[in-house]
Amino acid sequence: MEQTDLDRAQQQIKSLAQVLPEFGPEAQADLQLNPALKTYLDFFKLPEPSDQLQLLAGKLTKGGQQTHLMLWKPPQSKGSVVIVHGYLDHTGLYGHLIKQLLERQLTVVCFDLIGHGLSSGEPASIDSFDQYVEQLNLVLEASADLCPAPLHGIGQSTGGAILLKQLFDQDDGRDHRFVSLNLLAPLVQPRKWKIDRWLFKLTRPFRPTMNRVFRENSQDKEFLHFVRHMDPFQPHRLPAAWVSAMAEWVVEIGQYPENPFAINVIQGDQDSTVDWQHNINVLQSKFPNMGLHIIQQAGHHLVNEASGLREEIFAALKL
């Protein structure tokens, strides 16, 4: 794509946030009436609506916060999946997973976290993971009548932490809305956290934001290039406020009691983003019924790994 075409597409994609209708049955996607949505779907290679696929695209507005939400529904849906993306991600990067779930005849819901993608908020920032859980619950409430049972949850990295926190925050895990939780490289503690947390405490008063490092978190070189050079939603500065919220989560998860829910954890053994060996030990101590799949040679961004690894990852999903 020529640079002028890329710039034009990126500007049109960002404009989509201004023309999205309120989410609901009336948010039926019409690509002829909404060229920005057409550009968005084409640019990120997401499924387009057809006679065999319904697409709702809209926004939820509460307390000044706008949440971008998309729902794909096949004609004979066998259940529903809510995808919670990872930190610095957004719906547009989850095309592989969305298509895989649609092939299984599942309704798919995906939304942009606060400060990510088309959702409003300070870029990549949050004061507390509580806000993420509140946003997830808002999405669940708004989409409930459109999502056939049973309901499954899939979370990548920070998305996995959000699903875990929502589960722990329930008074009784048996009343949990999801019948299954698939956690891909879930964030419990980041890599080298014992060292980095002290450096963060020392420097935070002087550094409200930090330079972002684009990591080699997948073997899919095309994906890595796209994220670094083409994705219009990628921030280049990381707010210290998010790191503080994440630090609170690291402490919080260690304080939760044992839970009988049978989470399913999928983890790459070449992950250099999270402290995955430590994380698995923590999760096994909290969830005695946990399922675990270690994917050899896979990195952190499991939903966008190289195609061969991705097939193995998706095969490990319990839905």
Structural domain that includes position 193: 3-315
Q: What is the pLDDT of residue 4?
A: 82
Q: What is the pLDDT of residue 203?
A: 45
Q: What is the pLDDT of residue 5?
A: 79
Q: What is the pLDDT of residue 174?
A: 47
Instruction: Please tell me which of 23-37, 152-166, 206-220 the model is most confident about, judged by mean pLDDT.
Output: 152-166
Q: What is the pLDDT of residue 215?
A: 85
Q: Compute CA distances 38 → 99, 315, 316, whole Å.
A: 17, 30, 32
- Rounded CA-CA distance 191/179 in Å is 30
Tell me phi and psi for residue 182, to 5 degrees.
-105, 115
Across 83-97, 180-194, 273-287, 305-319, least confident range: 180-194
* Higher-pLDDT residue of 167, 212: 167
- Rounded CA-CA distance 231/225 in Å is 9
Task: For residue range 137-167, list pLDDT tens digits in order.
Answer: 999 999 999 999 999 999 999 999 999 999 9
Q: What is the CATH number of the domain that holds 111?
A: 3.40.50.1820
How large is the average pLDDT for residues 233-252? 91
Task: For residue range 265-309, list pLDDT tens digits in order.
Answer: 999 999 999 999 999 999 999 999 999 999 999 999 999 999 999
Q: Is the pLDDT of residue 205 over 80?
A: no
Sorting pLDDT into bands at 50, 70 and 90, what band is 211? confident
- Rounded CA-CA distance 45/47 in Å is 7
Beta bridge mates, 62 = 65
ω before 150 within 30° of 0 (cis)?
Answer: yes
- Rounded CA-CA distance 201/102 in Å is 44
DSSP, collapsed to helix, strand or coil, labels residue 49 as coil
Q: What are the counts of helices (DSSP H) followed by strands (DSSP E) for the chain?
A: 10, 10
Tally of domains within the chain: 1
Beta bridge mates, 209 = 239
HSE-CB of 56 using CA atoms within 13 angstroms:
23
Across 125-134, 150-159, 187-196, least confident range: 187-196
- Rounded CA-CA distance 236/209 in Å is 10
Instruction: Give percent of the chain above pLDDT 90.
Output: 84
How large is the average pLDDT for residues 128-144? 97
